[in-house]
Structure 1
Amino acid sequence: MEKDAGMVLHTLFEQTARRVPTLPALQWKADSLTYEELDRVADAVSGWLSRKGVGRGSFVGVLQERGLEMVVAILGSLKAGAAYLPLLPSWPTEQRLEILDEAGCCCLILQSAFRCESASFTGAKLELDDCRALARVEPPPAERAEVLPMDLAYLIYTSGSTGKPKGVMMHHGGTAANISRNAHLSCEEGTRCSFSNSYTFDVHVADIFKPLSVGGVVIVTRDIFRIPPVDTLSTLPSRVTRARVPRALKRIIFTGEPPTQASIVRIPSTTRVLNIFGATEFFDATLKIIDVHGCPSKLQSIGKPLGDYVPLWVMDPDSKELLQSGAVGELVVGGLQVSRGYIKRPELTSYKFFQAPWLASEKQEGGRVYRTGDLVRLCQDEEYEYLGRVEQQLKLNGHRIDCATVENKLTSIEGVSEAVVVLRDGDLERGQLVLVAYVSPSSAAVSVSSFRDGLPAHMVPTRVVGIDTWPRTSSGK
């Protein structure tokens, strides 16, 4: 990745804008911007921010509903040298203000509709409702901000397993280099690519910058249920189970969660399906091209590393010792695409990001790795098989239960789209716990006897409960 390591995110777009200025770059409903127009309005935002003292090391909050201005605010912040912090309008006002305060945001780009609820924010505010109107009155910055690859590009808050939001700090270098190398997998010049994922979900970075780095068109949409014609759709697999997939679709990019048979069967055979494995703490790491007519068990494969610049290991979660091929352990990711860590969370950062003892001879940047919390094993075909989360291994009556194994068994049953296995109180008087499976839709005809075969007795749920609506995070998971 060395030849790409000097890149920063917004220069990928700027290079394309110089090459194909008149091609469409961004579309929202009936409105659109060419590359030249998008560059100009983003420069106007950058100029406004620069004149307010925003520069390298600054954080800029972005509070926007979907539309052209959401992408313009992101590009303008990066051009000013700042890292952007996406905020969801649906979050409670107090939560947004706490996040802005923790990050030390000096500026907030918002729609005027959120003026009142953001009144207590004391930093500079840019109300951005019409990017073209702003460009008519705001000149570009007097000087172009110098941005280095290891400067922060964005700060994304994720709730994680604890429910307490934590901010992940990601730098330009690894993200930009990864996009530069792999954008061709999902788009090329003229490709219409969906941007329907939440911009507080790390996948939005690829949704925006992969098309903009090659001359594609970013089609901003609210969701995949009411989507205009596109060539490439990026989405969570579980969302496909609730949508009709157009036959003209060329590619589906699955990310964020493992695909299931219920999501695959809805995809036309002419559509190419790619499963890309990544996380907020590290950019895209592995790729699996899925055969929609293939064996359901292969859906658990997350594929192979995207390149030799994505080093992966499997370690024992407790001892941190490396495991041999075929052994089940925790996936560890290294390389430039690993983030800087969690803002103002030093203890959590030191636990999740550490200097790998097996890379003791490497320099600091090369030896720092991230423990994903994902259970995998390296198979004979050199693909990594995803087996669930480390914390998903439950203990019941002295037996260790791998929830992912049981859930995969359930979703292989015809009619079951999603499944979750948990421990619940069974006999309150005796204080006994039992294994309970929740499946959707509730109409799925599933009984304990229908999936008993192939599972050890201690991994067979005591009862199965049907459910139609799952609680979901802002990213749709």
Structure 2
Amino acid sequence: GKNIFYRELITRANRLAHHLVNLGVGPDVPVAVALGPSVDIVVAILAILKANGAYVPIDPSYPAARIKHILADSNAAAVITTREASAVLRGASSPLVSLDDDAATIEAMPATPPAVRAKPQNLAYLIYTSGSTGAPKGVMVSHSNAVASIMARRQYYAAPVEAYLLLSSIAFDSSVAGLFWTLFDGGRLCIPSEKTRRDPGALARIIEEQEISHVLCLPSFYSALSLLLTPSHSASLECVIVAGEECKPELAAQHIERLPQVALFNEYGPTECSVWSSAHRIASDDGASRSISIGRPIPGAEAFVISASGVLAPPGVPGELFVGGEGVARGYRGHPDLTADRFMPNPFGQDGGRLYRTGDRVRLRDDGGIEFLGRIDNQVKIRGFRVEPSEIEEALLRHLSVREAVVIASGESGAATKLFAYLVLDAGCEWSDLDLERHLSGRLPEYMIPTKVVLLDALPRLPNGKIDRSALPAPTSATIATPNDGPSGAVAALMKEIWREVLSLEQIHDDDDFFELGGNSLSAIQVIARVQQVLGQEMPVASIFEAAVFRDFVRAVESEVNAELMDDDLRALLDEIESAEESCAVDMILAAPLGGTHV
């Protein structure tokens, strides 16, 4: 880990900014950032902005093909990276600026900031989201947009940021909120390592040890993290924000029960509106409500619910949500047709502003809040990332054996949304010929790879020839039963209950593989959080990746369980799995500062 004070941060950013200026960076010139979570990310982003350029965040875990597309589409003048992270950039069309290999050159640059040439309408950043055309598209956010978004935070939230726990990938636009909100308030920014931010137990310790005041994360992730937080261990915590996917009433009830002294907010907003557009503070009665409101417009934003006939819908009547105000982005880079389709003049305003057509189906509540009802199109949210199924279908159709492909999302009974692919293969092709995981992992991020694949002789179609998605057979999670010669006892019974709950399955067998059952990195975190909560034992998240088969996972848990916790105690926990109050052990010290970096 590394500690850095503001003075050093600014000096390093200034030197790097001068180096970028020498490379031709200036207003509206994109520069990519391909770095793992570290203080270097903050230095790089500030340097690009000081050089008057626009930063393009790239998650180094993305497939090489996706990174190549982003670099080419953005026409990035350079890529800021390190020797370690640059492995995914082989063959990149943009020159590399290595923070370690080029350190001597950068260090020789002036410590004073370059001249400011960027105007409010110039680009601040360019974030790529899933595209309906089969490739990700870049959303152009200006300095004016970004400043309006951050200043709205300072106006909306009463508590200033003392210490912010940054959990978002830089490729996810909520990272903009944490980074600049904290710097504007002069707070401390804690950036956990990639490994640490996947470990709820480690994060719970960070919140206590580093006296974190603000956290923003996915509702599904907070559901796991909050199980390990208690009032005594999170005394510094003032504000938790959930965003990126639907916040369920069950999460509101869980938060209110465990951390009633901490304010919980549900934020909503597309990337095209500079991170957030509306917010709702969770109230005590939200836990018993049918759904959680996405709130009212934030300062400087406007929201309109427009019916299919193009008029404003009255309260209670569903319509499409259109967002206006200072946060509405410039549009999509290189796609004037898409920009014209989604961004339009505001017919309800007087200042010539624009509206962004979200594609979200909502209705106004009597109290003025907005209720999210779903999507008008097929777009879905997977672990907070916006996903266009058509982009996945396009990748599937590039396989030589696939003739037709349809991708749908499903998340029944409150379970996490999962992707399912339906394929029609060319004549003579077999399932064993596909090797789809390898095919897709070279083209799509992990969160966009379907959980299950269903082979069909033909896709169901409507009379007009279009695919009838409603007639697709329901994907099943059935597995072949195996002889009951696997692990037994209270630990096995408890683990089976946790797997069933997290994966929303009726049966778990000893030879079942967690990831083949539909598990992913987020649900793995949820399993480990539940194990830590009910057993009060430290359990590394890597355990479930190293022992993905159920019987092996049980053995891994048994090796970690305190020998004094006998079967009778564990059996008692089975009846309390939904309300266990065991707290996570917090006396384990990680590498200072707790496996992370502070600004």
Is the TM-score greater than 0.5? yes
Q: Return the alpha-carbon distance in structure 2 between the equivalents of residues 117 and 447 of structure 1.
A: 37
Where does residue 173 of structure 2 map in the other structure?
202
Where does residue 449 of structure 2 map in the other structure?
none
Q: Structure 1 residues 291 and 119, CA, compared in 2 at 3 Å: closer, same or farther? A: same
Q: Return the alpha-carbon distance in structure 1 between the equivalents of residues 459 and 33 of structure 2.
A: 52
DSSP 3-state at the match of 1:167 = strand
User: Scaled by the length of structure 2, what TM-score is found?
Assistant: 0.61
Choose from 280, 304, 308 the match for 2:296. 304
Where does residue 469 of structure 1 map in the other structure?
519
Q: Return the alpha-carbon distance in structure 1 between the equivalents of residues 177 and 221 of structure 2.
A: 18
Choose from 226, 229, 233 the match for 2:215. 233
Q: Return the alpha-carbon distance in structure 1 between the equivalents of residues 28 and 293 of structure 2.
A: 39
Where does residue 267 of structure 2 map in the other structure?
276
Q: Structure 1 residues 298 and 174, CA, compared in 2 at 3 Å: closer, same or farther? A: farther
Q: Structure 1 residues 407 and 136, CA, compared in 2 at 3 Å: closer, same or farther? A: closer
- In the TM superposition, residue 292 of structure 1 has moved relative to its aligned partner by 5.3
1:101-112 aligned within 5 A: 101-112=72-83
DSSP 3-state at the match of 2:4 = strand
Deviations 1:194-213 (A, max 9, x none): 11101111111001000110
1:178-217 aligned within 5 A: 178-183=149-154, 191-217=162-188
Q: Which stretch of structure 1 is more off in the superposition, 137-146 or 194-203? A: 137-146
Question: When you count strand as a share of all residues, which structure comes out higher?
Answer: 1
Choose from 227, 238, 246 the match for 1:250. 238
Q: Return the alpha-carbon distance in structure 2 between the equivalents of residues 69 and 382 of structure 1.
A: 42
Q: Which stretch of structure 1 is more off in the superposition, 340-349 or 114-123? A: 114-123
Q: Please say if residues 360 and 375 of structure 2, whose CA atoms lie closer than 8 Å, have aligned partners that are also in contact.
A: yes
- In the TM superposition, residue 121 of structure 1 has moved relative to its aligned partner by 3.2
Where does residue 260 of structure 1 map in the other structure?
248
DSSP 3-state at the match of 1:60 = strand
Output the amino acid matched with 1:297.
Answer: S
DSSP 3-state at the match of 1:54 = coil
Q: Which stretch of structure 1 is more off in the superposition, 195-204 or 32-41? A: 32-41
- In the TM superposition, residue 422 of structure 1 has moved relative to its aligned partner by 8.3
Where does residue 43 of structure 1 map in the other structure?
14
- In the TM superposition, residue 86 of structure 1 has moved relative to its aligned partner by 0.7
Deviations 1:288-329 (A, max 9, x none): 00135534435431111113x211101135x43332222101
Q: Return the alpha-carbon distance in structure 2 between the equivalents of residues 131 and 177 of structure 1.
A: 35
Output the amino acid matched with 2:363.
Answer: R
Q: Return the alpha-carbon distance in structure 2 between the equivalents of residues 300 and 311 of structure 1.
A: 20
Q: Return the alpha-carbon distance in structure 1 between the equivalents of residues 459 and 182 of structure 2.
A: 58
Where does residue 589 of structure 2 map in the other structure?
none
Output the amino acid matched with 1:199.
Answer: I
Q: Structure 1 residues 279 and 392, CA, compared in 2 at 3 Å: closer, same or farther? A: same
Where does residue 321 of structure 1 map in the other structure?
311
Q: Please say if residues 158 and 166 of structure 1, whose CA atoms lie closer than 8 Å, have aligned partners that are also in contact.
A: yes
Deviations 1:322-361 (A, max 9, x none): 32222101100011200111111122111111124445x6
Deviations 1:369-394 (A, max 9, x none): 11101111011101111111112599
Q: Return the alpha-carbon distance in structure 2 between the equivalents of residues 187 and 133 of structure 1.
A: 43
Q: Structure 1 residues 46 and 259, CA, compared in 2 at 3 Å: closer, same or farther? A: same
Q: Structure 1 residues 72 and 218, CA, compared in 2 at 3 Å: closer, same or farther? A: same
DSSP 3-state at the match of 2:11 = helix
- In the TM superposition, residue 177 of structure 1 has moved relative to its aligned partner by 2.1
Q: Please say if residues 50 and 114 of structure 2, whose CA atoms lie closer than 8 Å, have aligned partners that are also in contact.
A: no
Choose from 17, 20, 26 the match for 1:55. 26
Count of aligned residue pairs for this structure pair: 407
DSSP 3-state at the match of 2:371 = strand
DSSP 3-state at the match of 2:37 = coil
Choose from 332, 357, 365 the match for 1:379. 365
DSSP 3-state at the match of 1:334 = strand
1:109-124 aligned within 5 A: 109-115=80-86, 117-124=88-95
Output the amino acid matched with 1:313.
Answer: F
- In the TM superposition, residue 53 of structure 1 has moved relative to its aligned partner by 1.8
Q: Return the alpha-carbon distance in structure 1 between the equivalents of residues 187 and 10 of structure 2.
A: 15
Q: Structure 1 residues 125 and 393, CA, compared in 2 at 3 Å: closer, same or farther? A: closer
Q: Return the alpha-carbon distance in structure 2 between the equivalents of residues 262 and 177 of structure 1.
A: 33
- In the TM superposition, residue 85 of structure 1 has moved relative to its aligned partner by 0.4
Q: Please say if residues 236 and 254 of structure 1, whose CA atoms lie closer than 8 Å, have aligned partners that are also in contact.
A: yes
Choose from 131, 134, 144 the match for 1:173. 144
Deviations 1:29-62 (A, max 9, x none): 3x12112111111111111111222111211011
Q: Please say if residues 234 and 253 of structure 1, whose CA atoms lie closer than 8 Å, have aligned partners that are also in contact.
A: yes
- Where structure 1 has 5 or more consecutive residues not aligned to the other structure, the ranges are 1-28, 395-402, 412-416, 449-465
- In the TM superposition, residue 231 of structure 1 has moved relative to its aligned partner by 1.8
DSSP 3-state at the match of 2:240 = strand
Where does residue 152 of structure 1 map in the other structure?
123
Largest Rg, 1 or 2: 2
- In the TM superposition, residue 271 of structure 1 has moved relative to its aligned partner by 1.9
Output the amino acid matched with 1:388.
Answer: G
Q: Which stretch of structure 1 is more off in the superposition, 145-154 or 260-269? A: 260-269
Q: Return the alpha-carbon distance in structure 1 between the equivalents of residues 242 and 505 of structure 2.
A: 30
Say yes or no: does 1:433 pair with 2:471.
Answer: yes
Q: Return the alpha-carbon distance in structure 2 between the equivalents of residues 376 and 322 of structure 1.
A: 12
Q: Return the alpha-carbon distance in structure 2 between the equivalents of residues 199 and 276 of structure 1.
A: 18
Output the amino acid matched with 1:443.
Answer: R
Q: Please say if residues 423 and 433 of structure 1, whose CA atoms lie closer than 8 Å, have aligned partners that are also in contact.
A: no
1:216-227 aligned within 5 A: 216-221=187-192, 222=194, 223=197, 225=200, 226-227=202-203
Say yes or no: does 1:94 pair with 2:86.
Answer: no
Q: Structure 1 residues 372 and 53, CA, compared in 2 at 3 Å: closer, same or farther? A: same
DSSP 3-state at the match of 2:363 = strand
